[in-house]
């Protein structure tokens, strides 16, 4: 029973490029959450998705960031035209339906923007 999988674990992009971060939830989990963690800080909520639906994107920057969780395949967090300030660790968590108490976290993707 694999845990939450994220890939890549490390991603380096130059300013202006696109970053795509993938998250495969635990088997049977239909709720996915994305968080961003800046160095020496706690995790900040970005977006909550269920299959094919964005439920809450109140933590997402208004521009350049988007997320999806298609019927088939992993959840994708997409950052267009990355800037140095996007450098952070991005964590995905999943929970079972209907909305489980415990979120299970993936190992994170560390994005570095040069």
Comparing CB distances to other proteins, the nearer of 81 and 99 is 99
Comparing CB distances to other proteins, the nearer of 15 and 69 is 69
Rule CB under 8 A: choose which of 13, 23, 35, 69 binds other proteins: 35
How many whole angstroms separate alpha carbon 50 and alpha carbon 8? 22
- Does 25 bind other proteins (CB under 8 A)? Our answer is no
Coil, strand, or helix at residue 34?
strand
How many whole angstroms separate alpha carbon 42 and alpha carbon 19? 22
Tokens 């160095």 label which residue? Answer: 39
- Does 69 bind other proteins (CB under 8 A)? Our answer is no
């Amino acid at each position: 029973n694999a845990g939450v999988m994220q890939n890549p674990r490390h991603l380096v992009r130059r300013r202006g490029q696109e970053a795509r971060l993938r998250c495969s939830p635990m088997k049977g989990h239909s709720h996915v959450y994305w968080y961003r963690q800046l160095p020496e800080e706690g995790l900040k909520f970005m977006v909550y998705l269920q299959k094919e639906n964005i439920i809450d994107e109140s933590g997402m920057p208004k521009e350049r960031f988007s997320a999806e969780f298609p019927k088939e395949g992993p959840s994708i967090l997409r950052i267009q035209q990355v800037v140095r300030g996007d450098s952070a660790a991005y964590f995905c968590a999943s929970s079972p339906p209907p909305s489980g108490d415990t979120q299970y976290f993936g190992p994170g993707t560390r994005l570095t923007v040069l």
